[in-house]
Structure 1
Amino acid sequence: MGMISKQLSRKPVTEPRARVKTRRMLTGRCQQPGGRVSVTKEFAMSAAMHCATALDELPPPPCARLLGWRILAVKPKEGWIKVGFDARWEFTNPAGYIQGGFLAAMLDDTMGPAVFAMTEGRLYSPTIEMTVSFLNPARPGRLVGEGRVVQLGKSIAFLEGSLTDAAGTLIARATASARLVEAGKALA
């Protein structure tokens, strides 16, 4: 996942310290092969609380590196993730738009990590079915994927995802079903 540096800054606390957890602002900068991305997230935390997710321990596979995959935000308990991608010129079709197969791969690489983060790295989710709706053409540049676990069953997860461009235009949406496999077995 690259090197992550964290910078914590205190926010003013208006109630007595003994009764309130310290509010802090977490700012992380993630160095990825595709460049630097800043991530800012505010939440209540104790001084000893750690903000890492299971995804921090898993190196990105070659397909994710090819797509310029990087985590922008994640809410593990909600099964939600926001991922950035670099849609490169090499991904274009003859009309100059990003070929749909690359967009589908980006959506797949958005939804699966939502399961991994939500299950704290216990479950890996190979896709068994995915439906993609291509809504607008995408030009090369930065794209943002949002993935969400709709339902997590005992052996199957139901997922949804969306992909937008830098202007916020919805490029594609997807729904998927994924098999749930113990990560220790799948990633061994």
Structure 2
Amino acid sequence: MAQENHLQEMQKEWDKFSKLVPSMKVPPPAFQELSGEFVSYVRKKELTCTFYIEPRFSNPMGVFQGGFLAAAFDNTFGPLCYLAAGKPTTTLELSVSYIRMVKENQRIRVTARVVARGNQHIYLEAEAFDEEEKLLAKSTTQVLILKIPGAEKQD
């Protein structure tokens, strides 16, 4: 029940941002294309999402392409950044360390955490796990907090 409230809180925050930036789509089309689902949220600190690994995103050997895994990380970092900053953000740097192959036809779990936040930047890290809880990859990112008229810092 408490987790459901956190997810509802997330949606309310995104609704506020959407009024300030009407062209903003939450969740973004790429999140939907990867069959993303929001699983859990710790206010302004952590977000967990799952993504379904469809064969159409695999290479000829049936392994999920690394760029799509990077997109899964980015699609978890992005919503968490909006919520942590209280404003839209943009990615400055994204690094992925691939640990093992990601097989198709399964749901992977990505958990992102805020490591540090300054006035203009947020630093985050994340890990991706398969259905057997095996670590698949790790990622870090640095984002720039955008200055949008009317978007005030949220506490």
Q: TM-score, normalised by structure 1?
A: 0.67
Which amino acid in structure 2 is aligned with residue 169 of structure 1? K
Contact kept, 8 Å, 1:104 with 1:132, in 2: the verdict is yes
Query: Which residue of the other structure, out of 31, 47, 53, is the alignment partner of 1:64?
Result: 31
What is the rounded CA distance, in whole Å, between the counterparts of 1:132 and 1:150 in structure 2?
A: 16
How many residues in Structure 1 have an aligned counterpart in Structure 2?
A: 138
Pairwise CA RMSD of aligned residues?
2.2
- In the TM superposition, 1:52-91 aligns within 5 A as 52-56=8-12, 57-58=14-15, 59-77=26-44, 79-91=45-57
Partner deviation per Cα, 1:61-100 (whole Å, 9 max, x = no partner): 21110011111000014x1011011111101011110000
Which amino acid in structure 1 is aligned with residue 72 of structure 2? M
More contact order relative to length (CA 8 Å, sep ≥ 6)? 2
Q: Report the CA distance between 1:152 and its aligned residue.
A: 1.1
Task: Please state which structure has a larger fraction of its residues in helix.
Answer: 2
What is the rounded CA distance, in whole Å, between the counterparts of 1:173 and 1:179 in structure 2?
A: 21
What is the rounded CA distance, in whole Å, between the counterparts of 2:138 and 2:93 in structure 1?
A: 14
Contact kept, 8 Å, 1:55 with 1:113, in 2: the verdict is no
Partner deviation per Cα, 1:114-146 (whole Å, 9 max, x = no partner): 222234xx2222111111100000011101000
Which amino acid in structure 2 is aligned with residue 158 of structure 1? Y
Partner deviation per Cα, 1:163-182 (whole Å, 9 max, x = no partner): 11111111110011111114
Of all paired residues, the percent bearing the same amino acid is 28
The corresponding residue for 1:108 is 74
Query: Which residue of the other structure, out of 83, 87, 92, is the alignment partner of 2:58?
Result: 92
- The 3-state SS of whatever aligns with 1:123 is coil
What is the rounded CA distance, in whole Å, between the counterparts of 1:125 and 1:55 in structure 2?
A: 17
What is the rounded CA distance, in whole Å, between the counterparts of 1:184 and 1:163 in structure 2?
A: 35
- The 3-state SS of whatever aligns with 2:77 is helix
Task: Please state which structure has a larger fraction of its residues in strand.
Answer: 1
The corresponding residue for 1:134 is 98
- The 3-state SS of whatever aligns with 1:101 is helix
Contact kept, 8 Å, 2:38 with 2:50, in 1: the verdict is yes
Which amino acid in structure 1 is aligned with residue 97 of structure 2? S
Q: TM-score, normalised by structure 2?
A: 0.80
Which amino acid in structure 1 is aligned with residue 136 of structure 2? I
What is the rounded CA distance, in whole Å, between the counterparts of 2:146 and 2:82 in structure 1?
A: 10
Identify unmatched segments of 5+ residues in structure 1.
1-25, 27-39, 43-49
